Amino acid sequence: MALGANLLQLLVVCYNSYKNYTAKSEKLDEEGKADEIKTLEKPQLPEFEYIYAVFVPLAVTLLIAPSKLPVVASCIAQVPYLKLPVRVAVSYVTVYQLGTGGGDCTGTQIVLAPIVLAATYLILDKFVASSISLTEKMLLSHLSVALLLLVDDSTDVTLVIFRALAISFGEALFLALCLKDLYKAQKPGSIRSKALLFVIYAVFLGNGIIMSSKFLYPALQRQPWAWLSSFIAESETRSFIFKVWLASSLTITPAVLIFGNKFAFGMRRKIWHFAIFLALSLPIVLDPQLCSMALVGLFGIFSLIEIVRANSIPPFGSWIRSLLLPFEDNKDKRGTYVFSYIYLVLGVALPLWFNNCENRGSSSIGLVCLGLGDSLASLLGKAIGVLYWPEGSKTIEGSFVFCLSTVAGLCFYQKYEEDDFNIYAILTTSIVTAVFEGNMSINDNILVPVLGWLCMEASERMRY
């Protein structure tokens, strides 16, 4: 199904690109502008990685909620190269042809899913531009659709909170960003500039807080801050973990930011991977729901910090930019926004969220892959690696280290988690993720953990 959908999209894209190119060429030829024809961008095939934006949403839905496949498939049919109204129309035609008989999608979900996907992609394409690839934009757009389709009253409360916060602060952020160009057009330091900055903050914080409280109250039956306080104090273990996290954040994080230049660049980049592994390695077993809540908070905080940093928004934007500059690599510098740390949080969180925040063997795959596998592979691969993957910058020795550390990490977690995955599932997952991590050209912080989760779940289900 995934391959068929991908082939169909490829044909549509090629035909549409060729049609547009031919029409422009003929028009210029009729106008006698032969020289301008040479400057036209010739039709190109989509980037190879786009296949992930087709396969991953379909595969995840098949394992989590197969009854929602028709709606997800209709969203997959949206080709980003087409005009917005056409893309949405294609989705509706697709879902009509596939039918939703026997599915549990509501009429509202069927109507909104294609619109949410198209709107999210449009916003990312407008404001993020070249900072991330087309494939990454589509994957993030499908994540917004997943929040619409897969999160309901039966899912963990932290996911309900995540959806409410994403909707409320997403809407507030869109309104605030609409004022960005007007703000930048003003003379720096002028009264009008300061007034517009105040309006931007007021629009964002006011809308975000008011809307999130409105969305969350029915689910929490109290104000969000009151619920969060009681949530943390629910058990002594949870309170202790939170206090350790708070103390570590207030001491270790500033130390790393201040003295980061003292470390080698590779270690400087991966220190955040080690940090999140140390912070969550035991809590993800003891209290996965608390870890989920923490990851929701980290996602929001990192997103806000990145928006302030990328746009140099006073009073902290320029300071944050200079503080984080030593941690950026060439991939981070290809656009205005840096998504590496946001992807790190999502990569750790998604397998846990796919399991509805339950203590399952595959819930820790993101933490193991990124906190152990990716970090050790990068450091040791550069130190001892001599054999490189074809047309790649990563070493086979590094991938071998990734595989071994992932096997060790997953075997460790099998002792403490509710579902005991067999060694064949662990070995298969470790090998597959190591190969993909070594050969993937786009940011792998999201895709490798998700592919690992798919591999573990599929391998386990094939036993029965």
Q: How far apart are CA 377 and CA 370, in angstroms?
A: 10
Q: How far apart are CA 457 and CA 464, in angstroms?
A: 12
Higher local confidence (pLDDT), 360 or 427: 427
Same domain, 280 and 165: no
Check pLDDT > 80 for residue 247: yes
Same domain, 60 and 164: no
Q: How far is CA 158 from the centre of its chain?
A: 17
Same domain, 125 and 170: no
Same domain, 82 and 48: yes
Averaged confidence pLDDT in the chain: 84
Range of the domain at 181: 155-232
Which of 212, 232, 252 terminates a domain? The answer is: 232
Each residue's pLDDT tens digit, 32-91: 666 666 666 565 556 778 888 889 999 999 999 888 888 998 888 887 777 788 888 888
Would you say 289 and 158 are in contact if contact means Cβ atoms under 8 Å apart? yes
- Confidence grade of residue 361 (pLDDT, cut at 50, 70, 90): confident
- Confidence grade of residue 175 (pLDDT, cut at 50, 70, 90): confident
The tally of domains found in the chain comes to 3
Mean pLDDT of 193-214: 89
Q: How far apart are CA 346 and CA 459, in angstroms?
A: 23
Would you say 144 and 166 are in contact if contact means Cβ atoms under 8 Å apart? yes
For 149, other C-beta atoms within 10 Å of its C-beta total 24
Mean pLDDT of 377-401: 85
Would you say 344 and 408 are in contact if contact means Cβ atoms under 8 Å apart? no
Which of 201, 232, 263 terminates a domain? The answer is: 232
Structure confidence at residue 331 (pLDDT): 73
Same domain, 307 and 294: yes
Structure confidence at residue 105 (pLDDT): 78
Same domain, 36 and 166: no
Which of 197, 216, 232 terminates a domain? The answer is: 232
Each residue's pLDDT tens digit, 310-340: 888 888 888 888 888 888 777 777 778 888 8
Q: How far apart are CA 130 and CA 32, in angstroms?
A: 34
Relative orientation angle of helices 69-76 and 2-30, to the nearest 10 degrees: 30
Amino acid, res. 336: T
- Tokens 């104090």, residue? 233
- Tokens 């003929």, residue? 26
Instruction: Classify residue 99 as left (phi > 0), alpha (psi -120 to 50) or beta.
Output: left
Q: How far is CA 297 from the centre of its chain?
A: 14
CB burial string 232-261: b at 16+ within 10 A, e below: beeeeebeebbeeeeeeeeeeeeebeeebe
Distances from the Cα of 102 to the Cαs of 98, 105, 147, 225, in angstroms? 12, 9, 21, 40
Structure confidence at residue 46 (pLDDT): 63
- Confidence grade of residue 418 (pLDDT, cut at 50, 70, 90): low
Same domain, 175 and 125: no
Same domain, 245 and 180: no
Peptide bond into 315 cis (omega under 30): yes
Mean pLDDT of 180-198: 84
Would you say 317 and 396 are in contact if contact means Cβ atoms under 8 Å apart? no
Same domain, 251 and 303: yes
Same domain, 390 and 316: yes
Check pLDDT > 60 for residue 378: yes
Same domain, 337 and 455: yes
Q: How far apart are CA 220 and CA 228, in angstroms?
A: 10
Runs of H (alpha helix) within 39-83: 50-64, 69-76
Task: Write down the pTM of the prediction.
Answer: 0.88
- Tokens 């597959």, residue? 432
Same domain, 175 and 254: no
Check pLDDT > 50 for residue 2: no
Amino acid, res. 170: G
Phi, psi dihedrals of residue 395, rounded to the nearest 5°: -95, 155
